Amino acid sequence: FASEKQQECVRCHADCASCEGPGFDDCNVCRNSKAVRYNGECLAHCPMNAYYDKTINECRANFSFSVFTVCLFPSDSTCVKECPVGYYAEDKDERVCERCHFSCKSCVGSHSVQCTTCKPGFFRQGSSCVETCSERHFGNTVTMVCEHCDPSCRQCWGHGNRKCLSCRGDYLYLSHWGQCLKSCPPNYYHDSWSKNCHRCHPTCKTCSGKENLSWLISYVVSCYEGFTLMSSICESNCTVGLYAASQVTDSLTTFHFIYKECFSLYSTNLSYFPNEKKHTATTF
């Protein structure tokens, strides 16, 4: 600046890009572009008795606290009526807007358990926002809220007792229907190692829990008509060169087993053998 007294140019204070005198409070323009000017000083943010005016990039004093309720927004030292989305008003002497936890869209504090709404991709569980719901809960993709599983389920993918993925306590898992049951239904046996209900071999009317020969054949307790229990296996009653034609179909409520008379291995038209016996055992 030009010193009239010394009739020469004198360097401004280090904080000033231009000035009216040598002091730190004589700045017209601040050297640091992020600084704000208040009464000639270049500051990091406005003091408590002032607010930031974006139009002139300066702090103004003596504002009404009834108009501005939250001050010192950290990114640009602005005073605002309320904190923007993703921030909350920290109740300190300085009244600063602080950023919410990364999972929160809006919040009342900085912690993950202080969310009021969640960002996309997160489920609301209580006052938390989570990517995966806790045990015994599932994420409702419509409401984006964690909801309770059926009491029998440890994990599930929806409401009801047919949407279990694993079971609680002493329940047995019937994976075919996604159910957790106290005991296995007819035509199923209890695998004590996995705590699952597995289907008996189609020739078995009832069976026990230990497996034999392969995963398809378990220790048999009783056989359907046309088969004889031999060494824990249901053997066909057909003579050599003939076989028992059978058909197994599933439905939601019934297990059907159709036994037909013994047919030649070379027979191709089963309509010639009208005599058939059908046995039905309800599974639920």
pLDDT, one tens digit per residue, over 145-181 is: 999 999 999 999 999 989 999 999 889 999 888 999 9
Q: Which of 71-75, 149-153, 274-278 has the lowest mean pLDDT?
A: 274-278
3-state SS assignment for residue 66: coil
Band of residue 219 on the pLDDT scale cut at 50, 70, 90? low
**pTM score, whole prediction:** 0.49
User: Exposed e or buried b for every residue in 194-220, given b needs 16+ CB within 10 A?
Assistant: eebbbbbbebbbebeeebbeeeebbbb
Domain ranges of the chain: 16-61, 70-154, 219-283
What is each CA distance from 263 to 84, 121, 175, 227, 235, in whole angstroms?
80, 60, 35, 15, 16
* pLDDT score of 57: 80
Q: How many CB atoms lie within 10 A of CB 78?
A: 19
Band of residue 264 on the pLDDT scale cut at 50, 70, 90? very low
Q: Which of the pair, 215 or 227, is modelled with greater confidence? A: 227
* pLDDT score of 278: 37
Q: Is the pLDDT of residue 9 over 60?
A: yes
E strand or H helix that includes residue 174: strand 172-174
Q: Is the pLDDT of residue 253 over 50?
A: no
Structure tokens given for 209: 């829990």
Assigned architecture for domain 70-154: Ribbon (2.10)
Q: Which of the pair, 187 or 275, is modelled with greater confidence? A: 187
Cα separation of 279 and 273, whole Å?
18
Q: Which of the pair, 264 or 235, is modelled with greater confidence? A: 235
E strand or H helix that includes residue 108: none
Percentage of the chain lying above the pLDDT 70 cut: 63
Band of residue 244 on the pLDDT scale cut at 50, 70, 90? low
Q: Which of the pair, 203 or 14, is modelled with greater confidence? A: 14
